[in-house]
Structure 1
Amino acid sequence: MGFDVTEYTTVLITLIVIMDPPGQIPIFLSLVGHQTPAQRHRAAWQAPAVSLLVISTFALGGKFILAYLHIGVPALQGAGGLLLLLVALQLLNGGGASRPVASDGVNVALVPLGTPLLAGPGAIAAVIVAVSQAPREGSVYLAIAAAIVTVHVVIAVVLRFSTVLIRVLGVGGVTLLAKIAGLLLAAIAVQLIANSVMGFIDAR
């Protein structure tokens, strides 16, 4: 059956840029920094697990959702591009919204870490578009699935060693990575919007 390396690389880079693992470090530490090491380690794998479940659900059912709502791929590309552009602007402007605060007794690995911080609208839209555009070949679907799993493994590792990473990178390093991610994400968003316009033109 083979393995589509190009599709794997494209989806992997897109999701890494959207989900921004280094940028999640300050938020993760602010939410679980007061907890015990065991609780932090548990949250570090629970949050990606929740995100993986949510994104996989949309990856499997995305086409059926589009068909049921009578939404075409160009419309989804346009909406996804606008969503990604908003996320990119937040990254470039330093975050935008205030960081979430956890209440006592609430499992922050589920909400807000797992969703919507990780499995947010941008990542969900990107996965649905990737699956909807994929040819009916097992190698392509396998590549998309592998990319989804890989990005969540990366996130789990980053969160697990977030205390070490924040000391190595420093606040300035994390901010720089967030700015670079925002620039790349803006380029991806513009390309999605351009593809959406071309799709509407071709459909006429």
Structure 2
Amino acid sequence: MAFFAIMNPIANLPVFISLTSGQNLKTVKNIAFHALTIAVIIVSIFALGGKTILNIFGINLAALRIVGGFLVGLIGYHMLQGNTSSLQHNVSSKEPKIDNNINIAVSPLAMPILAGPGTIATTMNLAVSINPLIIIISFITLSIITYFLFTYSELVVAKLGQNLMNVITRMMGLILATIGVHMAILGLQSAFPIFK
């Protein structure tokens, strides 16, 4: 649920539409496939190597949970307000060029929209207590769902309507804010046993 809330494929449909406007269905599918494949690779690297990455940089789990909780909570807060956080993505208003489709799939779609700082922090936090393969399988499942949502994004947006999409975004924001606070509390309890 944490990945669905932070990736929020439904709220990202208008962004995807704006980045792929004027493209044929084959190109839209290609962009979606490449973006999601790259996002899965990023999440897999941090799920499998998260502990090693923490050790290399001398970061303890408590610090990751506090900062990760803050980032995830901030993204959730912005979603509750009906906005997108600059931590999540910063999309250029320029329309994509046909020869630029792979670049769009890499950035801004794969990173930071689909696998941004909040997703990475959540992945590393989960990898400490959950089998990394479960995290990867969960993210792949979500990516498959997101692929179909992106592929038929214009139809989905037309069917749901802007009001329902806003409600979904705010619900996901509440869930994310709660997950962020929980992560931060766990980090504070680890760093300062007096809070237990």
The answer to whether TM tops 0.5 is yes
Which of 124, 128, 136 is matched with 1:128 structurally? 124
Q: Identify the range of structure 1 (22-31 vs 87-96) with the bigger mean alpha-carbon deviation.
A: 87-96
* Residue of structure 2 in register with 1:6 after alignment: none
How many residue pairs get aligned? The number is 187
Give yes or no for the alignment of 1:49 onto 2:37.
yes
Equivalent position SS for 1:29? helix
Moved more, 180-189 or 194-203: 194-203
Q: Which amino acid in structure 2 is aligned with residue 16 of structure 1?
A: F
Aligned-partner Cα distance in 2 for 1:131–1:197: 18
1:170 corresponds to which letter in structure 2? G
What are the residue-to-residue correspondences of 1:128-147 with 2, within 5 Å? 128-134=124-130, 140-147=131-138
Cα distance in 1 between the residues matched to 2:92 and 2:174? 24
Contact 2:47–2:132 (CA<8 Å) still a contact in 1? no
Equivalent residue of 1:23, what SS? coil
Does the alignment pair 1:17 with 2:5? yes
Quick check: 2:63–2:187 contact (8 Å CA) kept in 1?
yes
Q: Structure 2 stretches of 5 or more lacking a match?
A: none
Q: TM-score, normalised by structure 2?
A: 0.88
Residue 46 to residue 203, structure 1, CA distance change in 2 (3 Å): farther
Q: Find the counterpart in structure 1 of residue 143 from structure 2.
A: 152
Give me the whole-angstrom Cα distance separating, in 2, the residues matched to 1:112 and 1:51.
11
Percent identity reads 28
SS in 1 for 2:22: coil
1:71 aligns with 2:65: no
Deviation at 1:53, TM superposition (A): 1.0
CA contact (8 A) 1:45 1:160 kept: no
For the 8 Å contact 2:76–2:174, the answer to whether it is kept is yes
Aligned-residue CA RMSD in angstroms?
1.8
Mapped partners of 2:132, 2:111: distance in 1: 24
CA apart distance, 1:203: 9.5
2:192 alignment partner in structure 1: 201
Instruction: Tell me if structure 1 keeps the 8 A contact 2:91–2:108.
Output: no
Find the aligned partners of 1:46 and 1:203 in 2 and give their Cα distance.
47
Alignment match, 1:165: 156
Matched residue, 1:176: 167
The AA in structure 2 aligned to 1:41 is: K
Please give the alpha-carbon distance, in whole angstroms, between the structure 2 residues aligned to 1:111 and 1:185.
23
- Per mean C-alpha deviation after superposition, the further-off stretch among 145-154 and 75-84 is 145-154
Q: Aligned pair 1:36/2:27, yes or no?
A: no
The two structures have a TM-score, normalised by structure 1, of: 0.85
